[in-house]
Amino acid sequence: MLSYLNQLNRSIEDTNRRDHLAVQQDTQHVAWECLKQTYRPATAAKPDIEKALSTNGADDIPARLDYLETRLRLVQTLEPGNKLRIVLDPLAEYLAALHWVDQCRENPAESWPAFLDSIDQVLAQTNDPPTAIQGFLLAVRDCCKVKQKEAQVPEEIPDALARKAGLDPAELKKIEENRRISLLISDLADPDEEYRIRAAKDLGKRGLAAAKATPNLLGMAENPNQTLEARLEALRSLGNLGACSDSLKADIAPQLIALLQQDHDPNQPDELAVRRGAAEALGAMQAGKAELQAILNNDQQPLTLRQGAARALGLIGAPSGQPVPMLIAQLREGQISTQVKSIPVYQQALPLEQVLNLVAIPGGEFLMGSPPEEEGRDYYQSNFPDLAGLDVEEQHRVTVPPFSMSQFPITQAQWRAVATALPPVNQELDPDPANASFKGGDRPVESISWYEAIEFCDRLSQHTGKTYRLPSEAEWEYACRAGTTDPFHLGDTLRSDLANYNATYTYGNGAAGVYRQATTEVGSFGVNAFGLADMHGNVYEWCLDHWHPTYERSPTDGSAWITEGDDCYRLVRGGSWNYIPAFCRSAFRSRNTPRFRSYTVGFRVVGVFPWTP
């Protein structure tokens, strides 16, 4: 309704147009005067309207009323000229509702019960059924839902208003949801790409009720005239819808499998990206396992498609402790070789139907640090002047006992589950700390401090009765290397199709690539030999250790190096989406204060207990 009002006002020539907000405020005052007696659109005395308008400024009241009547044609004067009404009843009801909701914010605890009582009084005076004032009551309800937080509307008020209007709240919600879904389906054909993408995303969140949108979303995904981002968003939504019910899955999966298996022109990279999107949508709905396995096992298929198939098979998963097929890549002298390996994955149930996947890390001895000639060691002096002359990555042997580690960095969905559903141990947690541009349940959580990561582990330990904590620095590097001795577990360099980092910079004989300038969904590129993903780039990961500038006198048993009373720095490892490849090396060490938050820093957890299938 306000958009309609603003559109009317925009039609007035610039020199004579009044401010949008001023027009909204005036029309709300007029509407309330017209409805406040009977809660139905009616006439109001002109002096009463003028008095109401004076609360919004006493100047030029006649001119303001004339603007509403002669310019916008929203208000009509009735003979003999002492009464006014708003021309459109639905507009009058909505504007009066907005006025009332704004009035109630001063004292919501008293205003809303009084308003509910007044409804009964009005109906008793007029001897009318609730349907007579249904339009106004539903308008108030709509405004309450839009402004519930801002206007401090008590949670129970929208349903109470529905009942006062003679409607069952549950049935009304179904009607509204169906109407909303119909509008979203219409938006899928909007000329503006932003609206199409937003509509597709919203439909994917609406569950079984959005089943009727399936043909439209499939059409959007298959249409080469749509932008790639819109097609991929449609595929994500189809994956979410297919996960809602077996019947929807049965309808959607065959068409996604057809998309997955279609041939594409090598000169059309968008079609390859759509095939990968279809693969991941199948994984989200737990379908197409045989077809995905065939793609993964075929080394003639493009790397990105096999990565998508591997990620999809990971989403499908297996019973806890059973092997899941994974894609391991190696990079030598610019050439990628791959291996498919099935690795057992253990599942820790989290609240809100989330699951934490862990892999077992075998114990062993390794050479921690890097050789003096490794490229990237000289970055310490330019970035940390206090470390000049120190051997920050001095090689030394460490023996690490067995442990388990989360396969991916903790995701936003996992963080939200623990932050909202598990009781605090030492501090509160923000359920949604991630950078506004990086939102996504399967993206790594970031912008969390070391203390907040510790709190997550403590809550998880308390909830499960098992010990979860941050990895020690030695455990992290041992797990990252997975038996390798090169700068990266991938090999002698990085490539942007194997990790998420600032690929405008190169390392060794590597080539420049795509700089995504954002986090990516976890597990997008494959795993190392232990089954761990995203160990290079995406987000830095907190370690349990306090920062020490060298390894002199460091533990050799894999334990965390803690200095009592030191609250200065903590370790972060692994590099990030916006860091150069040298900072993503297996041996690279960095530091932040324990209260530091950044959209470049997340974490993963380790479990110090034996897993059994």
pLDDT in tens, 280-319: 999 999 999 999 999 999 999 999 999 999 999 999 999 9
The CATH class given to the 190-316 domain equals mainly alpha
Residue 93 pLDDT exceeds 60: yes
**76/66 Cα distance (integer angstroms):** 10
**59/511 Cα distance (integer angstroms):** 69
Helix (H) or strand (E) holding 335: strand 335-344
- Arithmetic mean of pLDDT, 184-196: 91
Average pLDDT, the chain: 93
Backbone angles phi, psi at 54, to 5 degrees: -65, -25
- Arithmetic mean of pLDDT, 190-198: 91
Please report the pLDDT score of residue 552 as a whole number: 95
- Every domain range in the chain assigned CATH 1.25.10.10: 190-316
**204/362 Cα distance (integer angstroms):** 40
- Arithmetic mean of pLDDT, 326-337: 92
Q: Contact, 10 vs 19, CB < 8 A?
A: no
Backbone CA torsion sign across 53, 56, 60, 63: negative
The two tokens of residue 150 are 């801002």
- Arithmetic mean of pLDDT, 7-33: 90
For the stretch 392-410, pLDDT in tens is 999 999 999 999 999 999 9
DSSP 346-414: EEEE-STT-EEEEEEE--EEEEES--TT-TTTTHHHHH-GGGTT--TT--EEEEE--EEEESSPPBHHH
Q: What is the three-state SS of 440-474?
A: CCCCECCCCCHHHHHHHHHHHHHHHCCCEECCCHH
**415/330 Cα distance (integer angstroms):** 31
Residue 1 pLDDT exceeds 80: no
Residue 560 pLDDT exceeds 70: yes
Backbone CA torsion sign across 268, 269, 274, 276: positive
Query: At 32, is the pLDDT very low, low, confident or very high (cuts 50, 70, 90)?
Result: very high
- Arithmetic mean of pLDDT, 441-455: 97
Please report the pLDDT score of residue 612 as a whole number: 59
Burial code (b: 16+ CB inside 10 Å, e: under 16) for 196-234 equals bbbbbebbbebeeebbebbebbbebbbeeebeeebbbbb
- Every domain range in the chain assigned CATH 3.90.1580.10: 358-607
Backbone angles phi, psi at 328, to 5 degrees: -110, 130
- Arithmetic mean of pLDDT, 473-501: 97
Backbone angles phi, psi at 35, to 5 degrees: -115, -15
Q: How far is CA 245 from CA 237, 280, 360, 421, 466, in A?
A: 14, 17, 33, 25, 34
For the stretch 488-539, pLDDT in tens is 999 999 999 999 999 999 999 999 999 999 999 999 999 999 999 999 999 9
Residue 58 pLDDT exceeds 80: no
Q: Is 542 helix (H, G, I), strand (E, B) or coil?
A: strand
Q: Is 530 helix (H, G, I), strand (E, B) or coil?
A: coil
Please report the pLDDT score of residue 510 as a whole number: 92
**366/362 Cα distance (integer angstroms):** 12
Query: At 432, is the pLDDT very low, low, confident or very high (cuts 50, 70, 90)?
Result: very high
Please report the pLDDT score of residue 613 as a whole number: 47
Residue 550 pLDDT exceeds 90: yes
Amino acid identity, residue 551? Y
Q: Contact, 529 vs 489, CB < 8 A?
A: yes
Q: Is 501 helix (H, G, I), strand (E, B) or coil?
A: coil
The two tokens of residue 545 are 């250790």
Helix (H) or strand (E) holding 546: strand 540-546
- Arithmetic mean of pLDDT, 178-186: 89
CATH number of 358-607: 3.90.1580.10
**462/590 Cα distance (integer angstroms):** 30
For the stretch 344-355, pLDDT in tens is 999 999 999 999
